[in-house]
Structure 1
């Protein structure tokens, strides 16, 4: 089957304005410096220092130390409408300017990098394997361009540099610290470099984009014994195996087929020897879904299944279940704004990918619960350069041409949002 996506080598970079194209070498330099110094969640001290240093250099007002290592920069536009004059603005009581937030995450992953590149991670066992170094560079480039072109927009832009997206989640602590207040944010946008899409594409849709994620750990408590005398035991392995199978019926038979969901048992540990029946078995699992109305349903159903199977075998259990992130739900109007901007930046119609949902999760969802907004994917894979490894892979890397495209997307979104 012939791909309908643009060939990365044919991407039309003339759609990126000259000022942003000239910024591309700095974007690459910043990204590579960040890539060499990856830091885990709430430990992004070097990253935050670098971001703050650049913002100070550009005389951009900003706050540091929010939720440990988070930063919020504020840039005020000074574009006058055709109805305004300087005198009018000085003497009249004008409406409070609108505020648009842009969010970028900064943290890395506990992965040993296998890429042999000049900008390889210098921190053993830690790697930017999800593109957050690129997100931070794009946000910096956006801040720089907006500060230099404040005459092109009339509102206030808050750029949120967020820690700990991967774990345990920095969005909620930043919200609790008041990053959406003073001045109050009216809408928010964010992007994710996405190696599931090729360079030159943008994945954007209204409604659910990414899934909610819930987790559970369960210990099955049986009765151990000799492998040749099972009648004297309660085999925790047999109980656990039946639970793993039965859990799949939640999606297959309890969830509306129209609603996508996933229950994955990723860990199962039991036993020490082949002829010993284990008295305990431990499992860990993840649950994913798009429909917010399913919140609380899986928790109840998982425990019902575990309790029923354990009771039928004479076993007991210890269950720990918790919710990590809600689903990423894009606002219809802001998603449409992003889509129209994407049409100006990438080739259409093949460059716009509306069906781009994924069961991966993102704590951008907490921001979107507070204010309307849109999170979108920016294609970053390039098979011609062997830049196709998936996110969280030790050889993950992306086509850095996407950095300038990301800045262009954000800048145009700012200009269009304040012109509505």
Structure 2
């Protein structure tokens, strides 16, 4: 039997109960049940909202090492044919957080039963997909009392083969922000447009204008994206719309570009107010700070992985995806890496089906790395 099979089974049980941000009650209860089965003299457990802190004691600690796993699912209806599909209709672990949790429990179990020198703080973080759990978790009294010296995390990569680990020094994930723009004008009968202020026309004009920001306001050697993914407005075909709403995202490789992009959006929306005699409001919703890997620690980890025979290191490129681990790594130095899971379908897809052999790969690599790190500190 595969020695990591118990954690594959744990992953399958967690896959059945996906829950969205700050509603992960069943998930928290499942994790606590497992954690409480471990020797209580080796581990100290504290809950935070629907998340968990679990500190495993080292034999002669000089520091605390942090490890983060996110625990929430997504509002996506699963379309796989797995025997352990989601039991929560309309929700799915479509971003691999079920694997993230099972891997974390595997690493935790290893350092509980085979102690290393330093303490290890495991953080099971809620609300990564929104509204963002990392920043408030870092600000919590528990984190500040158990603050790690450095921190690491992983994210599954469906496009990479099992046995591969990908990361890079510096920027790994972009700055991201949600974007919601509401326009309010004056509706009326389609036969009398001169008596109205049409917000469908205003919204269409604004969408076109927004696309010019990237082309004319962002340094061509930098990168940024504005995506409007949803427009709503109007009621029926013969009534001019009084209201319209644009929903989208902003993604930039630098914090400076994020600031500039938002300033230009706000300027354009003020122009729409004047040009279309309407009122507006802007909400940036959930914002994630960039994941910027600490250079020295990341290079040390990459060198370690290169020396292992069971995994292959890939030097990755920066991605425009967002990850609220950025708030943790902003507060505490460390790094994140991609774990190859070889799935035909990608992240946030209803048919995502990671290869579970990656669970054992990650447990072994990270556990051994933590032990090596303690021995070489």
2:69 counterpart of 1:108: no
**Distance between the aligned counterparts of 1:213 and 1:187, measured in 2?**
24
Alignment of 1:267-346 (within 5 A): 267-322=230-285, 324-345=287-308
* Residue 38 of structure 1, CA deviation: 2.0
Relative distance call for 1:320 and 1:74 in structure 2 (3 A) is closer
Deviates more, 1:192-201 or 1:337-346: 337-346
1:29 maps to 9
Give the SS at the match of 1:259.
Answer: coil
2:64 maps to 99
1:361 maps to 322
2:91 counterpart of 1:130: no
2:197 counterpart of 1:215: no
Deviates more, 1:256-265 or 1:171-180: 171-180
Q: Is the 8 A contact 2:28 2:52 kept in 1?
A: yes
| Count of matched residue pairs | 374
Relative distance call for 1:279 and 1:48 in structure 2 (3 A) is closer
Q: Is the 8 A contact 1:75 1:147 kept in 2?
A: yes
2:345 counterpart of 1:389: yes
Alignment of 1:47-126 (within 5 A): 47-59=27-39, 60-66=42-48, 68-78=49-59, 97-126=62-91
**Distance between the aligned counterparts of 2:372 and 2:255, measured in 1?**
30
Deviates more, 1:284-293 or 1:305-314: 305-314
2:117 maps to 154
* Residue 210 of structure 1, CA deviation: 1.1
1:83 maps to none
1:69-97 Cα distance to aligned partner (Å, 9 max, x none): 21122223327xxxxxxxxxxxxxxxx70
Q: Is the 8 A contact 1:341 1:409 kept in 2?
A: no
* Residue 310 of structure 1, CA deviation: 3.0
**Distance between the aligned counterparts of 1:183 and 1:312, measured in 2?**
54
What is the RMSD computed on CA atoms of the aligned residues? 2.1
1:415 maps to 371
**Distance between the aligned counterparts of 2:109 and 2:340, measured in 1?**
23
List gaps (5 residues or longer) in structure 1: 1-20, 80-95, 382-386
**Distance between the aligned counterparts of 2:245 and 2:280, measured in 1?**
10
Give the SS at the match of 1:53.
Answer: helix
**Distance between the aligned counterparts of 1:62 and 1:271, measured in 2?**
55
1:94-152 Cα distance to aligned partner (Å, 9 max, x none): xx7022101111111122212122211122222111111111100110011112221xx
Give the SS at the match of 2:362.
Answer: helix
Of residues 41, 44, 57 in structure 1, which corresponds to 2:21? 41
Q: Is the 8 A contact 1:224 1:233 kept in 2?
A: yes
Relative distance call for 1:131 and 1:154 in structure 2 (3 A) is same
Q: Is the 8 A contact 1:221 1:317 kept in 2?
A: yes
Q: Is the 8 A contact 2:130 2:286 kept in 1?
A: no
* Residue 287 of structure 1, CA deviation: 0.7
Q: Is the 8 A contact 1:23 1:141 kept in 2?
A: no
List gaps (5 residues or longer) in structure 2: none
